[in-house]
Copies of this chain bind each other. A is one copy, B any other.
Amino acid sequence: MANMNDVAKRANVSRGTVSNYINNVRIKEASRIKVEEAIKELAYIPDVGAREFKTNKSSNVVFILPTVWNPFFSELTYQLQIKLKEKGMKLILCNSQDDYRAEIEYLEIAQQNKVFGIISISYSDIMPYLTSKIPYVAIERYYNEDIPYVTSDNEGGGKMAVNELIKKGCQKLLHVTRQVDGNNALIARKKGFEEACKEQNADYEIFNPKTSSAAFHEDIAIFLKEAFNKGKQFDGIFCATDRYASYCQDALSDMGIDIPEDVQIIGFDGSQSYATEKLKISTIRQPVEKIAQEAVNLLIAVVNKDKQQNSIVLPVTFLDLKTTKSN
């Protein structure tokens, strides 16, 4: 296989000129044309590994997230990889399965491989202590003012859901969420819900058990059945995720309750399972593509030590779909 010397010889330039070309250092226009011709003729493939080893610059970004197997995360992963590619970078995918020991392993891999940086969605507290030596951007999680992060306006989204439900005639509101340590997004959505209910003087309740993700489907069904049996006629439910909204939908349908006639539901995320899916659950949509773009921009700014804002909070929007009444 041709090497850099072969290219230099064929192009009749110095090896340094070829090296500069490969490393994107400007060279004379006439030399550039000759080098490009020689590369083409010799089918020369630059050894990126060698270059990155010598220059100590990697183009790999480690992306740590609970699991790519979930509509919101798969859309986000898709968008992140496309945005990184536009900057000539690669995405190394790391599913942590919500296990902080796996996160630590991935951080070690990132350190050992001297990656460009890390983008992560983590609910464990261990992350910021371990990443001090590697450029790092968090998504959805605020640790402290030193750790840059990108998030949707979760609190604003919670308020928006309450205001929409009340505008659509709901009088007894319920918030369905789950206690997950370190999940700031869920906490902020709950805070927004409560504040808006208080502002609007609305009658409300919150179902917020500390339970596993797997058991929550069943927990919701039991809670709703008991509540309605006791005469608690909720007519508007804000769920902290679309998945929880679909659990509520299942439970209420089994109880013979009509959605949206008897009960209106608004979820959170607005992520399709695939790009052309028609969503059915009314929801607060997170700007996933924008989150991905801002996370990439922020990571590059951190690496380049550009001064810029350390936290980015992006606006959400309401999608008025089939689980709410049309005005």
Q: Which residues of A line the B interface, CB within 8 A?
A: 45-50, 52-53, 58, 60, 67-71, 73-75, 77-78, 81-82, 90-95, 97, 108-109, 111-114, 213-214, 217, 243, 250, 272-278
Contacts and interface: CB of A to CB of B under 8 A. Distances in A.
Contacts of A217: 276, 278
B276 A71 contact: no
A90 B69 contact: no
Contacts of A93: 77, 81, 91-93
- Counted per complex, copies of this chain come to 2
- Identify whether the interface residues of A are mostly helix, strand, loop, or mixed: mixed
A124 to B, nearest CB: 18
Contacts of A90: 92, 109, 113
B243 A274 contact: yes
Nearest to A67: B78
A92 B48 CA distance: 15
A112 B48 contact: yes
B71 A274 contact: yes
A81 to B, nearest CB: 5
Contacts of A214: 276
